[in-house]
Every structure is written in C-alpha cells, then in structure tokens.
C-alpha cells in the first residue's frame, strides 16, 4: 500500500495503529466463536479454520487447512451434516454458507453449529409425542372396553363421551349424543332428575335407579350409578365421570338372601317351639296318660329330625360353596333297594296326601350314594307336598330309559311359570317369595341338582301354572358309568 | 266358657298351644289358615285369637289381623301374634295392625299361659 506524500514507514506505522484494533476485534470474534467457521475454496479445499472448527472436527486448525472439506457446499444454503469425529460419536452440525473472497479468490464462508443436543431433544420429543398418542389410544380402548357403562360430562353437564357398554345399555350412539345435556340420555323424569342433581352437586355420589328396557326377559333393570368429579391438576372440577352398572342380578340375590335369612329363622324356630313346648309339657304335665306322653315324644323326635335336616342342608351348602363339594359314598344297588327307602321318605311327610309309587325295571343296577339319593327323593316329595293341596295325589315313578334310569315326582299342585322354572335351581329361590307361600328355605333344589350331577346325572322339570309339576332326575345305569346324558 | 281360636299352619304347634291352654272352662278351636280364621271368627265370636304370622295361603298372619281388626264383628277380640323373625319387625307390624300382644317363638309354655290368662281376665 502506498500513501500520497507520506513516508512508507510512517504509513505502515499509522496503519498498524489504526488497523490493529480492528484486526484484534475480528480475531477475537473468529477465535472465540462457538460456531465453527471455515473458508472453503471453490475446489472444496479448506483454506481457514477457527478453533471451534478444530474442536468440531477433533483436529488441530493447522491440520484442517489444505484438507478437502468433503461435503458439498453451495452458497446460501442451510444444511445439516453429520460429522464423524475421532471419538466416533456422530455430531450433527447445521451449516450455513455465504459467498466470500479469500486471498483474491472467490470462496465459501461456512459456519457450522453443533446441533447434536437439539437433535436429540427433538427426537425425544417426537418419541414422547408418539408415546402419548399411543397412551391416549390405549386409554381410549380401555374406556371402550370397560364392561360398566361410562359417561363423561363437561363442567356444564354436557356429554363428552359415552363408552360402548353404555351405548348398548341405553341404545344410544356416542356420536349422536356428544354435546347434548346428560339428562337427555334418559327418558324417565325421576332418573333424569337424579342424574342431573348429582352432576350439579359435583360430588362423589352413589344411587340406584330403575331402567326400562325393551326386548329382554327382565325389562326393568336395576342400575347402580356412581358419579365422581374429574379434577384438573389444580384440583378444579372440569367435569364429571359417571359409571353405570347393571346390578339387577346382584340385587335379586341380595333380596333372596335377606328373605332366606328370615325364612331360615322361621324354619328353625317353628320346630324349636314344638320341641321345647312338648318337652315342657312332658316335664310339667301332671295328668298325662301314656298315649299323650308317647305322642309328645314322637313330635319332639320328628321335629328334632326336621331340624337335623335343615342343619344338614346348611352343611351341604357350605360344602358346595367352599368348593370342597359333597363327597359321595357310592355303591352298586338295585332300583328295588332304592325304592324300598321311599316308605320312610313318604312317612316323614306330615300333611295328608295320596302317594302312588310305580317302579319298573326293579332289577336294574345303579352305582349311587343311597343316602344322598334318598335325600333327593325326600326333597322332591317334600316340595310336591308343600306346593299342592292336602289330599291331592303325589306320584313317584321310576323306569329305565336307554342308558338312564328316570325317577319322576309328579304333583297336582300350583305349578310354576316358565320364569319360575328357570330359577328353581338358584340358591335361596322359592317359587313364591311372598310371606304367604309355604315355608321352605329355598336351598333344597340347588343341593338336589348338585347331588344328581355328582352322580353323572341330570334333572328336568315340566310345569305350568295350575297344571302341577313333574320333577325328574336321570341316573346312569350300571356300575361303571359316569357319563352325562345327551 | 271362653272361646280361644288358634291359627297356625303347623299341626304340631296347634296341638302344643291347645294342650297348653286346654281347661275345663275353655273351648279351643283351631284352623290352619288365615282364610279359615276369618270365617270361623265371624261365626264363633272367640274371646281370644292366637295368630301365627308366617302362614301360606291368600292371607298370612298380618293380613288376617288386618281383616279381623277392620271388621266390626271381630275387631274387639284380642289377638296374640306368634312371631318367629329375628329383628322384631313382624311383631311391630302385627301391633301396628291391631294385635294386642305378641309372643316370639320359641316360647315357654308358662309365658304363653300367663299372657292368655291376662287377656281373658
């Protein structure tokens, strides 16, 4: 460089003084930049590299200069390149390129920023999003699969979603009802009010209501509803979730159980009254003749046996309920022997009925627990007597039918509706559950069925209201058979 | 002669009550259902009725008490309800329907005899 009218030394000195601070600034910027700065000539050779570039490529800056850059470069672009360093951990760098000049030649100024960390974060975020989408889908399918009906409402009591079980329960579709007020799901005014009130209160609540449905054997179902608030992380209520469970069957069993308890009490107290009373009569009665004494003692014995039967029934039930089951003591015996037991069964009946006993194929051999089959007969005859008018006939008949021996007990009693027949083998069930029905604890038939099935047999009932009832059971003929009838 | 009507579906209980209450100055009648009780009470005007509560048929003990106590011909006849439940609901209901006393099964015969004696006095 040459100045006008000034000495070269002076000029150089001035240049030094004026330019040095600028140079230092540039030097500082370039050397302290955290981004890598490279000058690459048009042949792709590195002409300059700052310390950050040396760090990025894990080489000394001097080593880089003169090397081929190895990545295609063109002006104005912004690309991501993957740099493999000496420690073999790939580094991702974002590269921006600008036109520049270097020592009089056109070149590229490339700045590279290490974005490895950012890329990792991005990938993790993407993965997290995918996971949360999966989680949402999973929650959605869980909600759909819940067997109880589910309603989710917003803070204003409008439906946000209902699940599949509820769609079936109410015959509604989630798409159609979304956004509607929740009480529009129900037609019954009282039910609407109950649902509406509990959601208004916004508290956890539990209540039962009756739901009228169509096309089922029991058109009125008992539904148990539980509502609870949906809270956001700040504990603000943003809606309500209501779970509806069909508890018709459970309530029915609860009702039967509570009736059972009251009948069991009655059934135990009646024989106790007779036993205690006649024992007192025997102890205190001064002018009793031998005949009276004898008849009182017989009543005490009969009622005692009756109590023993009830207690055995409870024991059998507890055996069946606990899963231990009744253990049969089977032995081969003839039909003749079995029917020989009927006399004691029939004599045990207090009410006057006309009994007819007809048995065929008396030499047929059965492998049975005689006492248990006697118990079955006692129960069936007892029911026939209980549910038919005094003086009417009760017929017990037996006959071989193919591989099976059938024993039927037929009465001329009040009979049962098909719905009643369906429930006969339910525990605690009594054909007429009103207090005006003949006493009975309602366990007999469920135990009878267990005993017959333990023998590999089966039961059948023919009955119609007013037309009497015939209960039959089938036992396999022969001593080695355990198969069930077809 | 005092007339006592015993209503119970169980023959052994009817016999027991009859034996406990039997005396030369009493006539004991007994029936096994509420329906029969209503008819017989109307015909015989008993001085006391012993009524089992849990009975089969159209009228159980409670219903029979209701019928007897709403009929001017029988409403003044004292009734002892014989109950056999656990929590006393049956007795309470019987008293509300107009029964005068109740006795819970199983009872002592002296207890029954005394209650009857008091009501007939």
Q: How far is CA A378 from CA A371, A384, A453, in A?
A: 10, 10, 17
- Asked whether the beta carbons of residue A273 and residue B19 sit closer than 8 angstroms, the reply is no
How many of the other CB atoms lie within 10 Å of CB of B16? 26
3-class SS at A102?
strand
Residues B85 and B54: their CA atoms lie apart, in Å, by: 9
The answer to whether the beta carbons of residues A156 and A179 sit under 8 Å apart is: no
- Asked whether the beta carbons of residue B109 and residue A273 sit closer than 8 angstroms, the reply is no
Q: Dihedral angle at the C-alpha atoms of A258, A261, A265, A271, nearest 10 degrees?
A: 120
For B84, which residue in chain A has the nearest alpha carbon?
A266
User: Choosing among A273, A306, A387, A433, which should be mutated to test the B contact, i.e. which has the most B CBs within 10 A?
Assistant: A273
Q: Per-residue pLDDT for A75 more than 90?
A: no
**φ, ψ for residue A330, nearest 5 deg:** -85, 145
Confidence of residue A281 (pLDDT cuts 50, 70, 90): very high
Q: Per-residue pLDDT for A311 more than 90?
A: no
pLDDT at A483: 46
Residues A398 and B19: their CA atoms lie apart, in Å, by: 43
pLDDT at B98: 95
Of B56, B86, B109, the CB nearest to A438: B56
Mean pLDDT of B48-75: 93
Mean pLDDT of A312-324: 76
- Exposure string for A363-399, b = 16+ CB within 10 A, e = fewer: ebebbbbbebbbbbbbbbbbbbbbbbeeeeebbbbbe
Residues B17 and A277: their CA atoms lie apart, in Å, by: 9
Contact A82/B at CB under 8 A:
no
The 8 Å CB, 24+ separation contacts for A454-460 are A454/A325, A454/A326, A454/A328, A454/A372, A455/A328, A455/A330, A455/A368, A455/A369, A455/A372, A455/A373, A456/A481, A456/A482, A456/A483, A456/A484, A457/A404, A457/A484, A457/A485, A458/A484, A458/A485, A459/A425
- Asked whether the beta carbons of residue A302 and residue B12 sit closer than 8 angstroms, the reply is yes
- ∠ Cα B97 B98 B99 (to 5°): 105
Mean pLDDT of A145-160: 88
Of B53, B62, B109, the CB nearest to A277: B109
Confidence of residue A336 (pLDDT cuts 50, 70, 90): very high
**Which burial class, exposed, middle or buried, applies to A215 when counting CB atoms under 10 A from its CB (0-12, 13-18, 19+)?**
exposed
- Exposure string for A327-357, b = 16+ CB within 10 A, e = fewer: eeebeebebeebbebbeebbeebebebebee
Residues A280 and A288: their CA atoms lie apart, in Å, by: 12
CA atoms within a 13 Å half-sphere pointing along the CA-CB vector of A479:
6
pLDDT at A183: 82
**Min distance B85 CA to chain A CA atoms (Å):** 6
- Asked whether the beta carbons of residue B106 and residue A272 sit closer than 8 angstroms, the reply is yes
Q: Dihedral angle at the C-alpha atoms of A281, A286, A290, A296, nearest 10 degrees?
A: 0
pLDDT at A485: 47
How many of the other CB atoms lie within 10 Å of CB of A179? 10
- Asked whether the beta carbons of residue B105 and residue A302 sit closer than 8 angstroms, the reply is no
The answer to whether the beta carbons of residues A458 and A473 sit under 8 Å apart is: yes
Q: Per-residue pLDDT for A72 more than 70?
A: yes
Please count the helices (runs of H) and the strands (runs of E) in chain B. 5, 5
Size of interface A-B (CB pairs under 8 A): 73
**CB within 8 Å of A65: residues ≥ 6 apart:** A46, A47, A48, A49
DSSP letter at A107? E
Q: Per-residue pLDDT for A87 more than 70?
A: no
Contact A258/B at CB under 8 A:
no
Confidence of residue A215 (pLDDT cuts 50, 70, 90): low
Of B9, B13, B85, the CB nearest to A273: B13
| Chain B contacts to A (CB-CB under 8 A) | 9-13, 15-16, 19-20, 53-60, 62-63, 84-86, 105-110
B4-40 pLDDT per residue, tens: 999 998 889 999 999 999 999 999 999 999 999 999 9
DSSP letter at A182? G
pLDDT at A427: 65
Pick the range with the lowest mean pLDDT from A94-103, A373-382, A425-434.
A425-434
- A171: alpha, beta or left? (left if phi > 0; alpha if psi -120 to 50): left
ipTM of the complex: 0.90
Q: Per-residue pLDDT for A191 more than 70?
A: yes
Structure tokens, B39: 């008819």
Pick the range with the lowest mean pLDDT from A88-92, A321-325, A441-445.
A441-445
**CB within 8 Å of B106: residues ≥ 6 apart:** A269, A272, A273, A275, A276, A277
Confidence of residue A282 (pLDDT cuts 50, 70, 90): very high
pLDDT at A428: 61
A7-27 pLDDT per residue, tens: 667 777 777 777 778 888 888
**Min distance A265 CA to chain B CA atoms (Å):** 6
Of A285, A303, A435, the CB nearest to B54: A435
For B21, which residue in chain A has the nearest alpha carbon?
A281
Residues A375 and A476: their CA atoms lie apart, in Å, by: 18
- Asked whether the beta carbons of residue A436 and residue B58 sit closer than 8 angstroms, the reply is yes
Peptide bond into B37 cis (omega under 30): no
Of A273, A281, A436, the CB nearest to B107: A273
For A267, which residue in chain B has the nearest alpha carbon?
B84
pLDDT at B63: 95
With tokens 């001064």, the residue in question is A286
- CB contacts, 8 Å: A284 with chain B: 109
pLDDT at A5: 55
Confidence of residue B49 (pLDDT cuts 50, 70, 90): very high
Q: What is the DSSP string of A373-409?
A: HHHHHHHHHHHHHHTS-TT-EEEEEEEEETTEEEEEE
pLDDT at A217: 60
- CB contacts, 8 Å: A352 with chain B: none
Mean pLDDT of A218-241: 86
**Min distance B54 CA to chain A CA atoms (Å):** 6
The answer to whether the beta carbons of residues A158 and A179 sit under 8 Å apart is: yes
Of A270, A302, A303, the CB nearest to B84: A270
Contact A276/B at CB under 8 A:
yes
Of A262, A270, A434, the CB nearest to B13: A270
Q: Per-residue pLDDT for B41 more than 70?
A: yes
């Amino acid at each position: 460089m040459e100045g006008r009218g000034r000495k070269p030394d002076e000029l150089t000195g001035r240049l030094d003084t004026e330019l040095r601070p600028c140079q230092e600034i540039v030097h500082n910027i370039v050397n302290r930049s955290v981004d890598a700065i490279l000058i690459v000539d048009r042949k792709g050779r590195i002409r300059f590299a700052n310390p950050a570039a040396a760090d990025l490529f894990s080489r000394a800056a001097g080593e880089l200069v003169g090397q081929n850059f190895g990545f295609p470069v063109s002006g104005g672009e912004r690309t991501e390149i993957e740099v493999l360093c000496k420690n073999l951990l790939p580094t991702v760098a974002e590269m921006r390129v600008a036109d520049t000049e270097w020592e009089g030649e056109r070149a590229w100024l490339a700045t590279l920023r290490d974005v490895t960390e950012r890329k990792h974060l991005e990938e993790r975020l993407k993965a997290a999003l995918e996971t949360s989408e999966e989680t949402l889908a999973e929650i959605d399918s869980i909600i759909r699969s819940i067997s109880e009906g589910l309603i989710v409402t917003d803070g204003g009591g409008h439906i946000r979603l209902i699940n599949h079980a509820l769609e079936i329960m109410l015959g509604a579709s989630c798409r159609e009802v979304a956004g509607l007020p929740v009480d529009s799901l129900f037609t019954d005014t009282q039910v609407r009010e109950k649902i509406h009130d509990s959601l208004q209160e916004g508290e956890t609540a539990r209540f039962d209501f009756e739901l009228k449905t169509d096309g089922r054997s029991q058109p009125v179902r008992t539904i148990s509803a539980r509502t609870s608030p949906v809270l956001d992380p700040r504990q603000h209520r943003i809606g309500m979730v209501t779970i509806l469970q069909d508890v018709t069957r459970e309530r029915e069993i609860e009702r039967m159980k509570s009736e059972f308890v009251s009948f069991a009490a009655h059934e135990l107290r009646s024989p106790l009254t007779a036993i205690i009373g006649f024992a007192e009569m025997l102890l205190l009665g001064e002018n009793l003749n031998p005949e009276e004494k004898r008849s009182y003692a017989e009543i005490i014995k009969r009622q005692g046996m009756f109590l023993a039967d009830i207690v055995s029934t409870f024991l059998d039930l507890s055996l069946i309920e606990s899963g231990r089951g009744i253990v049969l003591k089977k032995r081969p015996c003839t039909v003749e022997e079995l029917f020989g037991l009927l006399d004691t069964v029939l004599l045990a009946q207090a009410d006057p009925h006309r009994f007819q006993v007809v048995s065929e194929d008396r030499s047929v051999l059965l492998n049975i627990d005689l006492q248990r089959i006697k118990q079955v007969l006692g129960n069936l005859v007892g029911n026939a007597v209980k549910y038919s008018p005094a003086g009417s006939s009760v017929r017990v008949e037996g006959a071989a039918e193919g591989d099976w021996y059938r024993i039927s007990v037929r009465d001329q009693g009040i009979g049962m509706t098909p719905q009643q027949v369906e429930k006969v083998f339910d525990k605690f069930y009594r054909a007429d559950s009103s207090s005006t029905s003949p006493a009975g604890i309602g366990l007999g038939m469920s135990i009878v069925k267990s005993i017959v099935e333990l023998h590999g047999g089966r039961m059948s009932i023919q009955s119609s209201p007013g037309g009497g009832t015939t209960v039959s059971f089938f036992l396999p003929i022969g001593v080695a058979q355990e198969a069930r009838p077809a | 002669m005092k007339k006592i009507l015993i209503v119970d579906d169980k023959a052994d209980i009817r016999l027991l009550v009859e034996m406990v209450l039997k005396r030369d100055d009493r006539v004991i009648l007994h029936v096994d259902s509420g329906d029969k009780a209503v008819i017989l009470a109307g015909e015989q005007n008993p001085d006391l009725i012993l009524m089992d509560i849990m009975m089969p048929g159209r009228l159980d003990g409670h219903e029979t008490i209701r019928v007897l106590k709403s009929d001017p011909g029988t409403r003044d006849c004292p009734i002892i309800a014989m109950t056999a439940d656990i929590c006393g609901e049956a007795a309470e209901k019987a008293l509300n329907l107009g029964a005068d006393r109740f006795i819970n099964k199983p009872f002592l015969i002296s207890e029954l005899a005394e209650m009857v004696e008091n009501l007939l006095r």
